[in-house]
Amino acid sequence: MASYQNDLVFMINDFRNKVAAGLPNFLPAGRMARISWSNELAQFAKFDVLRCTELPRPCMTSPNFPNIGSISMHHSYPGDRRDELTVMQDIIGSWILDSRYVTRKQAYFLNERADGRSVFRPALLMNEHNTHMGCAAIKYKADRFNNFLLSCTFSTVNLMKKPIYKPARQPGANCKNRDADYSNLCAVGEFYSENRQYADSRLLMELN
């Protein structure tokens, strides 16, 4: 996974940078973090994929990351094996694509949709407190199908009735320092007190 981590982190930070700019349907984010890779979270993701199942999602915590959020997806396809990075980019791309189902109201007051459509995955990718991530994958062949299970773990969770991010007049207006590469995000090292204590609140969980 080490050879792919920069590509995966870039993909998610590029998405967050666009969200923080207020695109396509949201107000700008005042203090959205740039995500960095964490070997510790990657180890949690490894433990997750070794369960060989997406659901139920495990509860994970550590002294460094009290509130570990996670996303897992299984992908199967026939024929020859595809490039690993391409498969992972396709999977993460589907999580990003689901952001079209996140309403502006949910961005500022996270709740479940009335139609039952889950926004768990994009909401976690959009969460302003999300400072770190790590991923792991397992691949195997069964019944002539190639199977690929990807898990990514994150430094935060989705809290119900809380904002995914707080809006501002300009992107990054409330950052201590703006990031040099992703101008709408806060630079690495931005401190979020929410990430240092266990969240005793109702969580938005992945159920399907």
- Prediction pTM value: 0.91
Q: Is residue 68 part of a domain?
A: yes
Residue 56 lies in a domain: yes
> Would you list the DSSP string of 115-169?
T----HHHHHHH-TT--EEEEEEEEEEETTEEEEEEEEEES--PBTTS-SS-B-S
- Distance in angstroms (rounded) separating the CA atoms of residues 39 and 16: 21
Tens-place pLDDT, residues 19-47:
999 987 899 999 999 999 999 999 999 99
Q: Is residue 155 part of a domain?
A: yes
User: What gap in Å lies between CA 87 and CA 145, rounded to an integer?
Assistant: 14
CATH number for 165: 3.40.33.10
- The rounded distance, in Å, linking the Cα atoms of 133 and 123 is 14
Structural domain contains residue 165:
yes
The answer to the question of residue 42 being in a domain is: yes
**Position of tokens 């792991």?**
136
What is the tens place of the pLDDT at every residue in 62-106?
999 999 999 999 999 998 889 999 999 999 999 999 999 999 999
Residue 167 has pLDDT above 80, yes or no: yes
Better-predicted residue by pLDDT, 117 or 38 = 38
pLDDT at residue 48 tops 60 = yes
| Residue 208 pLDDT > 60 | no
Mean pLDDT of 155-176: 94
Q: Can you give the residue range of the structural domain that contains 30?
A: 5-196
- Is pLDDT above 70 for 202? no
> Is 203 within the bounds of a domain?
no
d(CA 16, CA 185): 8
Q: How far apart are CA 33 and CA 17, in angstroms?
A: 9
- Interhelix angle 84-97/5-20, nearest 10 degrees: 20
Measuring CA to CA, which residue among 19, 1, 36 is closest to residue 119? 19
pLDDT over threshold 50, residue 207: no
Q: What pLDDT shows up at residue 56?
A: 74
Within 10 angstroms of residue 109's Cβ, the number of other Cβ atoms is 13
Average pLDDT, the chain: 91
- Is the confidence at residue 60, as pLDDT, over 60? yes
Residue 115 has pLDDT above 80, yes or no: no
If one counts the domains in the chain, the total is 1
